[in-house]
A and B are shown apart, each in its own frame.
Chain A
Amino acid sequence: MKFVDEYRDPAAARSILEHITRLAAGGHYKFMEVCGGHTHTIYKHGIENVLPDTVELVHGPGCPVCVIPMGRVEDAIAVAETPGVIFTSFGDMMRVPGANGNLLEAKARGADVRMVYSPLDALRIAVANPDKQVVFFAVGFETTAPSTAVTLIKAREKGIENFSLFCNHVTIVPPLRAILASPDLRLDGFLGPGHVSTVIGNRPYRFVPKDFGLPLVTAGFEPLDILQAILMLLRQIDEGRCEVENQYTRAVPEHGNIKALEVINTVFELRPHFEWRGLGFISQSALKLRDEFADWDAELKFSIPGVRVADPKACQCGEVLKGVIKPWECKVFGTACTPETPIGTCMVSSEGACAAYYNYGRFTKHQTVPVQLTSPAKTPAAV
């Protein structure tokens, strides 16, 4: 695959790793990545076990599925169980537990819950089912918000009235600030979220070096991207610099995507505050529909319980999200809280720090011993 395979070249990785090892020698560096996609890539390719021990990656709150509080999931299920509703959602969201189960279980009980790949698919379902109310569970950072916005603008243009959004979009900067303001945090730099940055550009992160003295490098999602970004962070530290840099230049324009920012602004406005699982209430951190789009707001169309459901006492998701503890340090990790029986959402989404560690990372210290193939793999795996 073009734009993908070249960034997975192990030979190129070796040379970056040599430079990383040299620069990090004698120290111990903790870099946080704040993007679920980064967590996923890191675990999928086993990047942590090719990095030297002197470089540690911490997984922050970049999973917009992970941070949706249980009360909002309950609200979603309530809407889904309303007669005459077709409830549409991204796949990941469907396994997130509320206080009484998740959307998949609601579906098993008879609710019309359907998985969609794109918000436009949800709109299509609305057009195809004029006698039903179609609701789309809108989640995601600024990466996904423009797509929801365009969909809603279309709905308004075409006069599609049986469509609405249950809006749970969140923004990346406030939780970053909240984390940086935590007294128990010790970090040496950040890997910036690559795809959010295609929309917002790199400038919004300037407060990180400016107000908190930490470097940030916006990184792509292939293994070489992550390694290169780590190298760029180490170089900044080595050279006494502290700034925002862009490793993912092939996809991230410095100023972001103006059109995408415009549509977000047309459709959404900031909520005064929003609850983040494990992080509590953060002001101006989430989006809601503007008044002009009230007719497409599921929170107004349906009676939403809106009850705040406290995180289970045993759940330490907040500390994991802040990077204060590692997944295995949580008291219920791997016993009461597993991917089949998740307590907190860090275990639900496959990119949640705990699920990723449980599924992929338990052998991070396990040496990679290549398989002896009696038949040499002469033909490449993919044809």
Chain B
Amino acid sequence: MTEPGDHRENYSHEDEVLERIEAWRRRRPKLKDEFINSAHGAGGKASAALIDAVFLEAFRNKTLESMSDGAVLELPSGERLAFSTDGFVVKPRRFPGGSVGDLAVNGTVNDVAMMGAVPQWISAGFVIEDGFSIAELRDIVADMAAAALKAGVTIVTGDTKVVDKGACDGIYITTAGVGVVPAGIHLDAKSVRPGDKVVVSGKIGDHGVAVLIARGDLALEADIPTDSAPLGELVEHLLAAAPNTRFLRDPTRGGVATVLNELAREAEVSVVIQEDTIPIRNVVNGACEILGIDPLYVANEGKLVAVVPAEEADAALAAMKAHPFGTDAAIIGEIREDPPGIVIINTFFGGNRIVDMLVGDPLPRIC
């Protein structure tokens, strides 16, 4: 039997090491690579490092530096516009429940909605490979038209470029979206306060798993369609019921964990979530278990994460649950002061662990 005294002198050393790591973690991630790799697109630390070191460095301005999903621009009249853009390169282009066309519209609609705006106008740019099937193009565009109708937006301008065979993978779509931010709505990570509640609008992990399965390499079969959906109306109802909502973001690439980490960093607060409150479909959970992927890091295309003041949490929840895209909404956590910049999950089991930022592309775990 080992003696209990053996470790006492090491406790302060461990605290030192832990503090050093925390300080290191809170620094903006540095870019050391010379070449782009898949991690830079995954939405985690490598992506953040790339954006910081290459884009922010060159394009320096306050609006960009606020780093939300989109920009809020003030017009001379005093009205505010929300403006956002996104690129869509998903493979396979068609997956259960949708296609790249749906994502291209809903993705940008949602980014605009996350700024509190009512999405109205979309632009669509297409880069198409020589030899691409026009029939497939028609299908994708039909999906976009249907999604736009459902979302209440119009596609008002666009562009098409054709590149040589092999110069792009089939088709790449970039959409930008504009909407008006109603007076009085100010969503900002920095307005988040300890005591606020964290709410998610529904079951997580559907989209990422649907696409992974659709790729076919893992030979899994499951009834998991994408959750791609336009959230403009859901946001309107939410803001009507909870006008002091602090923050909204859609957990796309990198999942809920990435959004919460971004929030913790930007607001310099701690986010604590309860594992047993996180809504997830059994079958999505099963797929994640088989592959050894954590559903908190899996992309969603029809969900939002909201931070609302505690006194408005019940109203916010009720408003979301009353909407078809929010029926499974749940309060999953709260904001605390300490330790700042860190996201913690209280496990089913009564323990806890840190939910860190994604490191690279999430690779299914075998062990």
- Check A360–B350 contact: CB distance below 8 A: no
CB distance from B53 to the nearest CB of A (A): 14
Report B-chain residues with C-beta under 8 Å of the C-beta of A47. Answer: 349, 351
Within 8 Å of chain B (Cβ to Cβ): is A65? yes
- Check B367–A37 contact: CB distance below 8 A: yes
Q: A121 touches which one: B38, B219, B279, B285 (CB < 8 A)?
A: B219
Taken together as a complex, chains A and B put the C-alpha atoms of A370 and B289 apart, in Å, by 25
- Check A104–B217 contact: CB distance below 8 A: no
Report B-chain residues with C-beta under 8 Å of the C-beta of A339. Answer: 356, 359
- Check A381–B289 contact: CB distance below 8 A: no
Contact with A along B25-68 (1 / 0, CB 8 A): 00001001001111100000110000000000000000000000
- Check A377–B351 contact: CB distance below 8 A: no
Taken together as a complex, chains A and B put the C-alpha atoms of A121 and B289 apart, in Å, by 19
Segment with Cβ contacts to B, from A26-34, A149-157, A300-308: A26-34
- Check A91–B1 contact: CB distance below 8 A: no
Contact with A along B330-367 (1 / 0, CB 8 A): 11111000010010101111111110100111011111
Report A-chain residues with C-beta under 8 Å of the C-beta of B272. Answer: 369, 371
Segment with Cβ contacts to B, from A70-78, A162-170, A282-290, A326-334: A326-334
CB under 8 Å from chain B, chain A span 333-376: 333-335, 338-341, 349-351, 358-363, 366, 368-375
- Check A375–B317 contact: CB distance below 8 A: yes
- Check A13–B349 contact: CB distance below 8 A: yes
CB under 8 Å from chain A, chain B span 206-221: 217-219
- Check A28–B352 contact: CB distance below 8 A: no
Report A-chain residues with C-beta under 8 Å of the C-beta of B359. Answer: 339-340
Taken together as a complex, chains A and B put the C-alpha atoms of A334 and B22 apart, in Å, by 9
Q: Given A92-B363, A360-B353, are A117 and B219 also a contact pair (CB < 8 Å)?
A: yes
Report A-chain residues with C-beta under 8 Å of the C-beta of B159. Answer: none
Segment with Cβ contacts to A, from B12-20, B168-176, B230-238, B261-269: B12-20
Q: B217 touches which one: A49, A105, A121 (CB < 8 A)?
A: A121
- Check B352–A368 contact: CB distance below 8 A: yes
- Check A28–B334 contact: CB distance below 8 A: no
- Check B291–A117 contact: CB distance below 8 A: yes
Report A-chain residues with C-beta under 8 Å of the C-beta of B45. Answer: 340
Contact with B along A207-227 (1 / 0, CB 8 A): 000000000000000010000
- Check B38–A104 contact: CB distance below 8 A: yes
Within 8 Å of chain A (Cβ to Cβ): is B6? yes
- Check B365–A13 contact: CB distance below 8 A: no
- Check A335–B24 contact: CB distance below 8 A: yes
Report B-chain residues with C-beta under 8 Å of the C-beta of A29. Answer: 1-2
CB distance from B327 to the nearest CB of A (A): 11
CB under 8 Å from chain B, chain A span 248-264: none
Q: Assign chain B's interface to a size class.
A: 35 or more
- Check A108–B38 contact: CB distance below 8 A: yes
Taken together as a complex, chains A and B put the C-alpha atoms of A116 and B363 apart, in Å, by 10
Within 8 Å of chain B (Cβ to Cβ): is A36? yes
Taken together as a complex, chains A and B put the C-alpha atoms of A95 and B330 apart, in Å, by 36
Within 8 Å of chain B (Cβ to Cβ): is A132? no
Report A-chain residues with C-beta under 8 Å of the C-beta of B244. Answer: none
Within 8 Å of chain B (Cβ to Cβ): is A63? yes
Residue from B20, B272, B334, B352 with most neighbouring chain A CB atoms (10 Å): B352
CB under 8 Å from chain B, chain A span 1-59: 1, 4, 8, 10, 13-14, 27-30, 36-37, 40, 43-50, 54
Taken together as a complex, chains A and B put the C-alpha atoms of A351 and B363 apart, in Å, by 13
Q: B46 touches which one: A4, A10, A340 (CB < 8 A)?
A: A340
CB under 8 Å from chain B, chain A span 102-131: 104-105, 108, 114-118, 121
Q: Given A46-B353, A360-B353, are A115 and B367 also a contact pair (CB < 8 Å)?
A: no
Q: B350 touches which one: A4, A63, A368 (CB < 8 A)?
A: A368
Report B-chain residues with C-beta under 8 Å of the C-beta of A40. Answer: 365, 367
Q: Given A65-B367, A105-B37, are A45 and B347 also a contact pair (CB < 8 Å)?
A: yes
Within 8 Å of chain A (Cβ to Cβ): is B324? no
- Check A363–B10 contact: CB distance below 8 A: no
CB under 8 Å from chain A, chain B span 111-127: none
CB under 8 Å from chain A, chain B span 182-201: 197
Q: A375 touches which one: B219, B286, B314 (CB < 8 A)?
A: B314
Taken together as a complex, chains A and B put the C-alpha atoms of A130 and B273 apart, in Å, by 50
CB distance from B359 to the nearest CB of A (A): 5
CB distance from A186 to the nearest CB of B (A): 5
Taken together as a complex, chains A and B put the C-alpha atoms of A14 and B350 apart, in Å, by 9
Within 8 Å of chain A (Cβ to Cβ): is B274? yes
Q: A374 touches which one: B46, B197, B279 (CB < 8 A)?
A: B197
Within 8 Å of chain B (Cβ to Cβ): is A181? no
Q: Which residue of A lies closest to B21 (CB)?
A: A334
- Check B17–A375 contact: CB distance below 8 A: no
Q: B3 touches which one: A28, A43, A105, A338 (CB < 8 A)?
A: A28
Q: A117 touches which one: B273, B351, B366 (CB < 8 A)?
A: B366
CB under 8 Å from chain B, chain A span 180-198: 186, 188
- Check B313–A375 contact: CB distance below 8 A: yes
Taken together as a complex, chains A and B put the C-alpha atoms of A116 and B282 apart, in Å, by 24
Q: A27 touches which one: B4, B219, B332 (CB < 8 A)?
A: B4
Within 8 Å of chain A (Cβ to Cβ): is B280? yes
- Check A366–B348 contact: CB distance below 8 A: no
- Check B354–A382 contact: CB distance below 8 A: no
Within 8 Å of chain B (Cβ to Cβ): is A94? yes
Within 8 Å of chain A (Cβ to Cβ): is B277? yes
CB distance from B82 to the nearest CB of A (A): 29
CB distance from A305 to the nearest CB of B (A): 23
Q: A383 touches which one: B22, B46, B274, B281 (CB < 8 A)?
A: B281
A-B contact pairs, 6 of them (CB 8 A): A8-B349, A27-B4, A104-B361, A362-B18, A363-B354, A382-B279
Residues of B at under 8 Å CB distance from A? Answer: 1-4, 6, 10, 13-14, 17-18, 20-22, 24, 29, 32, 35-39, 45-46, 197, 203, 217-219, 272-282, 285-286, 289, 291-292, 310, 313-314, 317, 328, 330-334, 339, 342, 344, 346-354, 356, 359-361, 363-367
A115-B217, A363-B344 given. 4 additional CB < 8 A pairs? Answer: A14-B350, A45-B351, A104-B38, A382-B280
Among all A-B residue pairs, the 9 with the closest Cβ atoms: A46-B351, A91-B363, A334-B21, A360-B353, A28-B4, A328-B17, A108-B37, A90-B366, A45-B349
